[in-house]
């Protein structure tokens, strides 16, 4: 059953999942507000004074935290925002969370204890990180270098995440649900790169390096310290094999199977972003 078409605030509305959620809501004629620094009114996690204007007249919120719930101070910011949202009369919160991240699970608890109807989307590594994030240039250059051993990861497509988020925002039956969202099979990063290589018709190599060597490379490339810390945390801690199992969140939420990584690789290759036979 559909719920009334009330105003939805999409935090990170220009990001990988937020943009897709916004497109789906717009197509279904749901009123929405993009929560971003360039939004109207603007929203900035680092500027709490922007939160209340963004929440004005809003009934539901799709919550994503930039850059990641793992960073120091994220849980406290989520708590402050959630308290404000509850006091503002928000009726539904849908939180994008990270699978295998203790800090993200603390943020989940904040939302679950808010007194507001909630749904948690606990996601594995996004397939789109290869095409809409810092790894896209490595793929374009034909060489992906990471400190990740041959452990399986159930890559989840952002299209599936958006579909589940929209269902949770617009339909009854998802309140109080924690959906662990994964793809249909485990792939190592090396295998994922092989899939992309086949889809593009190009030779793309995956090279595993030590965490120390990777950290040194980030320093040489003058990657900002906070982002370098986050990358090292994700690659050496979260991607240590703890997520090497499948979950049925997509099936439970949507009554269908999740998209396979090969579908993502083939469609993305056809867009030409990686170069190769389809560019």
Q: Is residue 148 part of a domain?
A: no
235: its two tokens: 């690659």
Q: Is residue 42 assigned to a domain?
A: yes
Q: Determine, yes or no, domain membership for 275.
A: no
Where in the sequence is the domain holding 106, given as residue range(s)? 8-126+156-183+244-259
234 located within any domain: no
Q: How many domains does the chain have?
A: 1
- 249, part of any domain: yes
Predicted local confidence at residue 277, as pLDDT: 52
- Of residues 178 and 223, the one with the higher pLDDT is 178
Assign residue 45 the CATH number of its domain: 3.40.50.720
Q: Which pLDDT band, with edges at 50, 70 and 90, does 223 fall under? A: confident
Residue 144 — φ and ψ, nearest 5°?
Answer: -110, 120
With a threshold of 0.85, does the pTM exceed it?
yes
Instruction: Look at residue 168 and tell me if it is in a domain.
Output: yes
pLDDT at 105: 96
Q: How far is CA 257 from CA 164, 185, 191, 243, 253, in A?
A: 12, 11, 21, 19, 10
Q: How confident is the model at residue 2 (pLDDT cuts 50, 70, 90)?
A: low
Q: To the nearest whole percent, how much of the chain has pLDDT over 70?
A: 97
Chain-wide mean pLDDT for the chain? Answer: 94
CA distance 14 to 221: 26
Alpha carbon distance 84, 104 (integer Å):
19
pLDDT, tens digit (0-9, with 9 covering 90-100), for 172-222:
999 999 999 999 999 999 999 999 999 999 999 999 999 899 889 888 888
pLDDT bracket for residue 1 (50, 70, 90): low
Q: Is 207 within 8 Å of 118 (Cβ atoms)? A: no
Q: What is the pLDDT of residue 276?
A: 66
Q: What is the pLDDT of residue 227?
A: 85
pLDDT at 134: 82
What is the mean predicted confidence (pLDDT) over 48-52?
A: 98
pLDDT at position 254 is: 98
> Does pLDDT of 156 surpass 90?
yes
**117 found inside a domain:** yes
pLDDT over threshold 50, residue 17: yes
d(CA 256, CA 185): 15
Peptide bond into 67 cis (omega under 30): yes
pLDDT in tens, 228-278: 888 888 888 899 999 999 999 999 999 999 999 999 999 999 999 998 654
Nearest CA-CA partner of 257 in 269, 266, 265, 247: 247
| 14 belongs to a structural domain | yes
Q: Is beta strand 117-123 parallel, antiparallel or unpaired with respect to 143-146?
A: unpaired
Q: What is the dihedral of CA 268, 270, 275, 279, to 10 degrees?
A: -150
């Amino acid at each position: 059953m559909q719920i009334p078409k009330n105003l939805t605030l999409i935090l990170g509305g220009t990001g990988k999942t937020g943009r897709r959620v916004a497109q789906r809501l717009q197509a279904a004629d749901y009123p929405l507000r993009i929560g971003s620094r360039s939004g109207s009114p603007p929203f900035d996690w680092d500027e709490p004074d922007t939160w209340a204007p963004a929440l004005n007249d809003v009934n539901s919120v799709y919550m994503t935290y930039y850059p990641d719930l793992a960073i120091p101070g994220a849980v406290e910011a989520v708590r402050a925002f959630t308290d404000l949202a509850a006091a503002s009369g928000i009726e539904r919160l849908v939180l994008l969370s990270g699978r295998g991240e203790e800090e993200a699970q603390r943020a989940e608890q904040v939302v679950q204890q808010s007194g507001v109807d909630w749904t948690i989307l606990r996601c594995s590594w996004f397939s789109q990180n290869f095409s809409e994030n810092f790894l896209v240039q490595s793929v374009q250059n034909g060489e992906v270098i990471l400190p990740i051993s041959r452990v399986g990861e159930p890559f989840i497509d952002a299209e599936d995440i958006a579909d589940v988020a929209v269902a949770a925002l617009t339909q009854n039956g998802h309140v109080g649900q924690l959906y662990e969202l994964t793809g249909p099979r485990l792939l190592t990063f090396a295998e994922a790169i092989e899939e992309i290589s086949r889809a593009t018709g190009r030779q793309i190599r995956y090279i595993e390096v030590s965490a120390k060597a990777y950290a040194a490379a980030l320093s040489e490339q003058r990657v900002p310290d906070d982002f370098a810390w986050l990358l090292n945390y994700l690659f050496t801690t979260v991607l240590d094999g703890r997520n090497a199992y499948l979950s049925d969140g997509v099936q439970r939420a949507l009554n269908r199977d999740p998209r396979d990584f090969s579908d993502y690789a083939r469609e993305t290759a056809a867009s030409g972003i990686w170069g190769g036979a389809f560019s």
